[in-house]
Chains A and B, each alone.
Chain A
């Protein structure tokens, strides 16, 4: 395998990648393919036929599935071999997570167990804690859960009221407080609980179900994912042995947030799996339902929907596996000793925090889009319980809320970029200056582009970055320290950053496939990149204009907006025929076609 260039987090905004720098899912090894097959077979044979089981809580069934998953090794891809796992690369974990993403409700139970439930111990646990807990989590004998949220600590996660105080003999911490909306609440055997020691130092604890003082609230009656358990977890003078402190006192935020980063890209992988199922359901119905004497899949408006669902899912898939590959590459730079060190692991995960937020936002919104169109394609029957779309529509909605709302993640993206720019980790200021100079020296309005495949789209992605740097530079300049208070501006910046990463990921994947298989064998990839970038570029322009018209005034404003307009001038790509082409492929394949 050729060596990919390693980017620092956020660098994609200022450095253009080559297709060779990015991992694409088509580059799976034979083992990866087998892992994906094993996981999809499991879902197809053991879970999907019992679809209706997941409209109510059934602990025995969920436990039996978790144990079956354990037998297959699906729970342990991130767990080191010494502790009962397989210690696989992130790509393998993503493939398993994606496959399980197609499972109603269980995807959430499984995701919380293997992700935010297990990973705090994998990355931050002591050897003793790992030996004690990880083997049981790998086999699925024990369910894990993650307890961060409280009534007054939702998005403001550090505003924890739960306290921990050391007993006089120094052997136990006494925990008091209440956590809410805890996934796997009623089923979990261990809870990763965050509490403030002496009301000050935010710290993680491993709390066993059997510890005295732990009790559970009633099952929540949720909008969707009704087959998963969600309860409050009540700690009343709960006695937790000192050995169960996770990582260090006062370092709980590192555990909580780094694990959420991983949880976020895994959530995105899971939504890709759900979207693929939605496309299968949608095209199956559109190919059988007849109106006006024709299958509805023969109508342009339905074709558009099938194409758009597949195009966005392609984009989500491209970015998720790009990110998994990037995290793997970075982990591979660590030597064996460094891999054992908590701080090195944490640093590696933290590096791509903003890409993880992008994945979470894009994946969850892509899934909402797909489920919404799925309901629409089914028409009236899409609104009726008992048909898959109604359940899938409700089930997916949580993805925009948990593991950090999409709003919190949107704020994190530009905030992280700015913080790294200030600390010198990302050379954003220089990039802003370079763009400024380029714009001043910009003489010709006509740009000569090669006729290489996707050359126009490649240019549009590059220009998107320039437009972002121009707008973000002005916003930072004018608003200074107040920028973070101006959440609407931050939101526009986040949207630009997200779409730049998405467009570039889809573009590079399409380019790589074209160069491998030849243009004539990659026409659907080519069409997908063209359609998506054609439709998204005007949004970048719109967001930039909005930022500039808010932060600038008078002649400066007019000049900046004129610059954006000049950069934004591009001939539109014809997308009606291209969408039909993609749709025809979906209709023939009867599933997600890539």
Chain B
């Protein structure tokens, strides 16, 4: 079973995010970068599949050269090889153009299964995985919390409001991850040293035969107009009162009278 995992390098969720002067991007100077947490689930699941089914795990990413760090981390966790599509013409693209690039790259990489995070925690588009499956013309199952492989098929449990649904499809297929799928392993120190020697190809758009005009900023169908921070949370207000009943009465008064919520 050859598995390809789509990985994106994103700012650490604990980083302080600042909006850049252009008001449509963020300042990247001081940020610490990590593997998108949902993609970490994808890497872990791919490694577990390889453990039971044999085969290979390839990491595919698009991004600046710095994104090799995220690929190296996945290699340190145990993946076999990595491919980074690194081309300045991909910059400023939307989810659809990213999917076009990844789908083009996947024409050169053998796969039975593709696993992607349900979304990247920076852009929160929830689109790339699905769009890649569409471009490749293969079935896709989203928000998976459990999978089983048997008789040349994959059966996935996916969550939806109030329950789970079990979906089955033949290979090749793509699924996206949901929290609860697994507990990603740590990259061990020997793993980190081994990762240094594993193959990592860096390719341009020309290498994967894609026209720069249909990707990046030029090829995007959507455009970010502006970025805003949510308004700052109000300070906590303690409700006064001698007894529980009195506090409840005061709370009702505030909700009804002041805030007019009820």
Query: Residues of A with Cβ closer than 8 Å to B?
Result: 30-31, 33-35, 37-38, 41-42, 71-74, 76-77, 86, 88, 92, 96, 290, 521, 588-590
CB distance from B5 to the nearest CB of A (A): 18
New A-B contacts (19) at CB < 8 Å, excluding given A37-B73, A38-B192? A30-B68, A31-B193, A34-B76, A34-B192, A34-B195, A37-B187, A38-B186, A38-B189, A41-B186, A42-B186, A72-B186, A72-B188, A73-B188, A76-B189, A86-B190, A88-B189, A88-B193, A589-B16, A589-B30
- Bound Cα distance from A31 to B192, whole angstroms: 6
Q: Quick check: is B201 within 8 A (CB to CB) of the other chain?
A: no
- Bound Cα distance from A30 to B195, whole angstroms: 11
Contact among A33, A86, A290, A590 for B189, CB-based, below 8 A: A86
CB distance from A523 to the nearest CB of B (A): 12
List A contacts of B188 (CB < 8 A). 38, 71-73
Contact among A34, A72, A77, A92 for B72, CB-based, below 8 A: A34
List B contacts of A71 (CB < 8 A). 188
- Bound Cα distance from A73 to B16, whole angstroms: 31
The size class of the interface chain B forms with chain A is 20 to 34
- Bound Cα distance from A30 to B191, whole angstroms: 13
Nearest residue in B to A589 (C-beta to C-beta)?
A: B16
Q: Quick check: is B235 within 8 A (CB to CB) of the other chain?
A: yes
- Bound Cα distance from A588 to B15, whole angstroms: 10
Residues A72 and B189 in contact, CB atoms below 8 Å apart: yes
List B contacts of A590 (CB < 8 A). 16
Q: Quick check: is B69 within 8 A (CB to CB) of the other chain?
A: yes
Contact among B16, B68, B190 for A588, CB-based, below 8 A: B16
- Bound Cα distance from A38 to B190, whole angstroms: 11
Residues A290 and B16 in contact, CB atoms below 8 Å apart: no
CB distance from B173 to the nearest CB of A (A): 31
Q: Quick check: is B180 within 8 A (CB to CB) of the other chain?
A: no
Known: A588-B16, A589-B16. A73 touches B72 (CB 8 A): no
Which residues in chain B, 29-78, are within 8 Å of chain A measured between CB atoms? Answer: 29-30, 34, 68-69, 72-73, 76
List B contacts of A86 (CB < 8 A). 189-190, 193
- Bound Cα distance from A590 to B13, whole angstroms: 13
- Bound Cα distance from A589 to B193, whole angstroms: 31
Contact code string B3-21 (vs A, CB < 8 Å = 1, else 0): 0000000000000100000
Residues B190 and A34 in contact, CB atoms below 8 Å apart: no
List A contacts of B73 (CB < 8 A). 34, 37
List A contacts of B68 (CB < 8 A). 30
Q: Can you report 14 A-B residue pairs in the complex whose CB atoms are below 8 A from each other?
A: A30-B69, A31-B193, A34-B76, A34-B192, A35-B189, A37-B34, A37-B73, A71-B188, A72-B189, A73-B191, A86-B189, A86-B190, A96-B189, A589-B30
Chain A contact surface mostly: helix
Nearest residue in A to B72 (C-beta to C-beta)?
A: A30
- Bound Cα distance from A71 to B193, whole angstroms: 14
Residues B189 and A77 in contact, CB atoms below 8 Å apart: yes
Q: Quick check: is B196 within 8 A (CB to CB) of the other chain?
A: yes
CB distance from B27 to the nearest CB of A (A): 12
Contact among B16, B29, B187, B235 for A34, CB-based, below 8 A: B187
Chain B contact surface mostly: helix
List B contacts of A76 (CB < 8 A). 189
Contact among A35, A72, A73, A521 for B29, CB-based, below 8 A: A521
Contact code string B187-225 (vs A, CB < 8 Å = 1, else 0): 111111101100000000000000000000000000000
Known: A30-B69, A30-B72, A589-B16. A38 touches B187 (CB 8 A): yes
Residues B76 and A73 in contact, CB atoms below 8 Å apart: no
CB distance from A126 to the nearest CB of B (A): 25
Residues B76 and A290 in contact, CB atoms below 8 Å apart: no
Residues A73 and B189 in contact, CB atoms below 8 Å apart: yes
CB distance from A524 to the nearest CB of B (A): 10
- Bound Cα distance from A268 to B189, whole angstroms: 22
- Bound Cα distance from A73 to B187, whole angstroms: 10
| Of listed B16, B30, B186, residue having the most chain A CB within 10 A | B186
- Bound Cα distance from A31 to B188, whole angstroms: 11
- Bound Cα distance from A334 to B12, whole angstroms: 40
List B contacts of A521 (CB < 8 A). 29
Nearest residue in A to B12 (C-beta to C-beta)?
A: A37
Residues A290 and B192 in contact, CB atoms below 8 Å apart: no
Residues B196 and A31 in contact, CB atoms below 8 Å apart: yes
CB distance from B132 to the nearest CB of A (A): 27
Nearest residue in B to A87 (C-beta to C-beta)?
A: B193
List A contacts of B192 (CB < 8 A). 31, 34-35, 38
- Bound Cα distance from A31 to B191, whole angstroms: 10
Contact code string B174-188 (vs A, CB < 8 Å = 1, else 0): 000000000000111
- Bound Cα distance from A300 to B29, whole angstroms: 28
- Bound Cα distance from A72 to B187, whole angstroms: 7
Contact code string B231-259 (vs A, CB < 8 Å = 1, else 0): 00001000000000000000000000000
Contact code string B122-142 (vs A, CB < 8 Å = 1, else 0): 000000000000000000000
- Bound Cα distance from A4 to B73, whole angstroms: 29
List A contacts of B16 (CB < 8 A). 588-590
Known: A34-B73, A521-B29. A74 touches B235 (CB 8 A): no
- Bound Cα distance from A563 to B163, whole angstroms: 83
CB distance from A527 to the nearest CB of B (A): 16
Nearest residue in A to B192 (C-beta to C-beta)?
A: A34
Known: A31-B196, A88-B189. A290 touches B29 (CB 8 A): no
| Of listed B16, B73, B193, B196, residue having the most chain A CB within 10 A | B193
- Pairs of residues from A and B, 4 with the lowest C-beta to C-beta distance, nearest first: A73-B189, A72-B188, A34-B192, A73-B188
- Bound Cα distance from A76 to B191, whole angstroms: 13
Known: A521-B29, A589-B16. A74 touches B189 (CB 8 A): yes
- Bound Cα distance from A33 to B76, whole angstroms: 12
List B contacts of A38 (CB < 8 A). 76, 186-189, 192
CB distance from B19 to the nearest CB of A (A): 14
List B contacts of A33 (CB < 8 A). 69
| Of listed A33, A88, A521, A588, residue having the most chain B CB within 10 A | A33
Nearest residue in A to B191 (C-beta to C-beta)?
A: A73
- Bound Cα distance from A86 to B192, whole angstroms: 10
List A contacts of B69 (CB < 8 A). 30, 33-34
List B contacts of A96 (CB < 8 A). 189
Contact among B30, B34, B190, B195 for A73, CB-based, below 8 A: B190
List B contacts of A77 (CB < 8 A). 189
- Bound Cα distance from A77 to B69, whole angstroms: 21
CB distance from A99 to the nearest CB of B (A): 12
List A contacts of B187 (CB < 8 A). 34, 37-38
- Bound Cα distance from A31 to B195, whole angstroms: 9
Nearest residue in B to A290 (C-beta to C-beta)?
A: B235
CB distance from B71 to the nearest CB of A (A): 10
Nearest residue in A to B73 (C-beta to C-beta)?
A: A34
Nearest residue in A to B183 (C-beta to C-beta)?
A: A45
List A contacts of B34 (CB < 8 A). 37
Nearest residue in A to B29 (C-beta to C-beta)?
A: A521
Nearest residue in A to B190 (C-beta to C-beta)?
A: A73
List A contacts of B76 (CB < 8 A). 34, 38
Nearest residue in B to A72 (C-beta to C-beta)?
A: B188
Nearest residue in B to A32 (C-beta to C-beta)?
A: B192
- Bound Cα distance from A77 to B193, whole angstroms: 11
List A contacts of B195 (CB < 8 A). 34
- Bound Cα distance from A73 to B190, whole angstroms: 6
Nearest residue in B to A77 (C-beta to C-beta)?
A: B189
